[in-house]
Structure 1
Amino acid sequence: MTILTASAPRDEMSGAPDVRVVAVPAGHPYVQRVTDAAGIALLPDPPVPGAAEGVWWPPVALDPDWIRANGDRADVLHVHFGTESFAAGHLTACVEAAHAAGWVVVFTVHDLTHPQLVDQRPYAAQLDELVPCADALITLTTGAAAEVRERWGREAVVLPHPAILREGASPTVVALSEDLRVGMHLKDLRPGTDGPESARTLVAAVERLREQGRHAVAEIRMHRSVRDEIARDEVRAAVAGHPYAVLVEQGRLPDAALNAALGGLDVCVLPYRYGSHSGWLELCWDLGVPVAAPDVGHFSDQHDDASTASFHPGDVDTLTEALHALLSRHEAARPGSIARAEIIEARRAHRREQDAATATAHAALYRRLRSERAS
Structure 2
Amino acid sequence: MTHDAPTSPALAPAGPAVDAPPRVDPIRVASVPAGHPYVRSLLDPLDRTGRVVHLADPLPDPAEPTRWWPPVVLDAAWLRAHVDEVDLLHVHFGTESYPTEHLVAVVEALHDLRLPLVHTVHDLTNPQLVDQAPHLEHLDVLIPAADELITLTDAAADEVETRWGRRPTVIAHPAIADVDAELPVGTPGDTVVVGVHLRDLRPNVAGVETVRTLLAAVDALRAAGAAVEARVDLNERVRDPEQAARIRELVRAAGPSATLAEHPRLSDADLERSLAELDVSVLPYRHGTHSGWVELCWDLAVPVAAPRVGHAAAQHPDAASTASFDLDDPASLAAALIALVSPHAADETADAHDDPARVPASRRGSPQRTTLQRQRRSLRRRQRRDVAAAHLAVYERALATVAAVTA
Does residue 45 of the first structure (1) align with residue 57 of the second (2)? Answer: yes
CA, structure 1 residues 130+10, in 2 after alignment: closer, same or farther (shift >3 Å)?
A: closer
Distance between the aligned counterparts of 2:121 and 2:93, measured in 1?
Answer: 9
Q: Given the alignment, which residue of 283, 288, 300 partners 2:296?
A: 283
- After the TM superposition, which of the residue ranges 284-293 and 24-33 deviates more from structure 2? 24-33
Who is 1:347 aligned against? 376
Which of 302, 318, 323 does residue 305 from structure 1 map onto?
318
CA contact (8 A) 1:72 1:101 kept: no
Q: What residue in structure 2 maps to residue 71 of structure 1?
A: 83
Match of 1:59 in 2: 71
Number of equivalences: 371
SS at match of 1:192: coil
- Paired residue for 2:392, among 356, 363, 366? 363
Question: What is residue 3 of structure 2 aligned with on the other side?
Answer: none
The answer to whether the aligner puts 1:179 opposite 2:191 as a matched pair is yes
Amino acid at match of 1:325: A
Shift of 1:49: 2.5
Change (3 A) 1:198 1:332: closer
Give, in whole Å, the separation in 2 of the partners of 1:100 and 1:29: 31
> Relative to structure 1, is the Cα distance of residues 283 and 256 closer, same or farther in structure 2, using a 3 angstrom cutoff?
same
> Which residue pairs with 2:151 in the alignment?
139
Equivalences for residues 119-138 of structure 1 within 5 A: 119-138=131-150
RMSD over aligned Cα atoms: 1.8
The aligned residue for residue 84 of structure 1 is 96
Query: For 2:333, what is the secondary structure of its paired residue?
Result: helix
**Alignment TM-score, normalising by the size of structure 2:** 0.88
> Aligned to 1:34, what secondary structure does the other structure show?
coil
Deviations 1:242-261 (Å, cap 9, x if unpaired)?
A: 21100000111111111011
Work out the CA distance in 2 between the residues paired with 1:333 and 1:369: 42
Output aligned runs, 1:1-375, within 5 Å.
Answer: 1=10, 2-4=12-14, 17-36=25-44, 38=49, 39-49=51-61, 51-241=63-253, 242-306=255-319, 307-328=321-342, 329=344, 332-375=361-404
More contact order relative to length (CA 8 Å, sep ≥ 6): 2
Amino acid corresponding to residue 361 of structure 1 in structure 2:
A
What is the rounded CA distance, in whole Å, between the counterparts of 2:63 and 2:146 in structure 1?
A: 29
Shift of residue 279 of structure 1?
A: 0.5
Q: Distance in 1 between matches of 2:91 and 2:23?
A: 25
The 8 Å contact of residues 224 and 250 in structure 1, kept in 2 or not, is answered as: yes
Q: Give the stretch that moved more between structures: 81-90 or 168-177.
A: 168-177
User: How far apart, in 2, do the equivalents of 1:61 and 1:262 lie?
Assistant: 35
- What is the distance in 2 between the residues matched to 1:172 and 1:326? 19
Cα deviation code 1:306-341 (max 9, x no counterpart): 110000112111111111111113655311111101
What does residue 352 of structure 2 align with? none
Change (3 A) 1:70 1:314: same
Give, in angstroms, the shift of residue 206 of structure 1.
0.8
**Per-residue deviation, residues 281-315 of structure 1 (Å, max 9, x unmatched):** 11000000000000011111111311100001121
CA distance in structure 1 between the aligned counterparts of 2:120 and 2:63, rounded to whole angstroms? 26
Aligned AA (1:101): L
CA contact (8 A) 1:105 1:136 kept: yes
Identity rate, percent: 49
Secondary structure of residue in 2 paired with 1:240: helix
Unaligned runs of 5+ in 2: 1-9, 345-358
In 2, the alpha carbon distance for the partners of 1:310 and 1:79 equals 30
Write out per-residue CA displacement over residues 209-250 of structure 1, whole angstroms, 9 at most, x where no aligned residue.
112222111010000111111100110011004211000001
